[in-house]
């Protein structure tokens, strides 16, 4: 559950990853989800940080451009990253969303 004042956002990269896995019949629900969320644009700064992430963590941790762009977007916008797969994000300068205890 989100606290008051918190919002859910997405990046074009997140949309691409989700639409890549959409099954027949899920298109309408998927579209509705994204209409309810705010989009964060990709910028040159995000691209530079993402490139550094791939350079630093690509070989050692298998970080790919898509995940690096998502992590860099969270970092630049000072937002926690929501993910079910933290191993894709070994960067020490990002923080993860966690539910309050």
Q: DSSP assignment, residue 81?
A: B
Q: What are phi and psi of 27, to 5 degrees?
A: -60, -45
CATH superfamily, domain 9-88, is: 5'-nuclease (3.40.50.1010)
pLDDT surpassing 90 at residue 89 = yes
User: Global pTM?
Assistant: 0.84
**Domain residue extents for the chain:** 9-88
Contact between residue 43 and residue 11 where contact means Cβ atoms under 8 Å apart? no
Confidence of residue 64 (pLDDT cuts 50, 70, 90): very high
pLDDT in tens, 15-26: 898 889 999 999
pLDDT surpassing 80 at residue 6 = no
Determine the pLDDT at residue 98: 79
Residue showing tokens 């690096």: 68
């Amino acid at each position: 559950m989100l606290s008051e004042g918190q919002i859910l956002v997405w990046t074009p990269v997140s949309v691409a990853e989700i639409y890549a896995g959409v099954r027949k019949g899920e298109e309408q629900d998927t579209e509705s989800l994204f209409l309810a969320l705010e989009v964060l644009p990709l910028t040159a700064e995000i691209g530079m940080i993402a490139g550094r992430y791939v350079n630093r963590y690509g070989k050692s941790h298998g970080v790919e451009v898509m995940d690096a762009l998502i992590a860099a977007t969270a970092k630049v916008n000072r937002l926690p990253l929501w993910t079910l797969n933290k191993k894709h994000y070994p960067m020490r300068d990002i923080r993860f969303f966690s539910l309050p205890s």
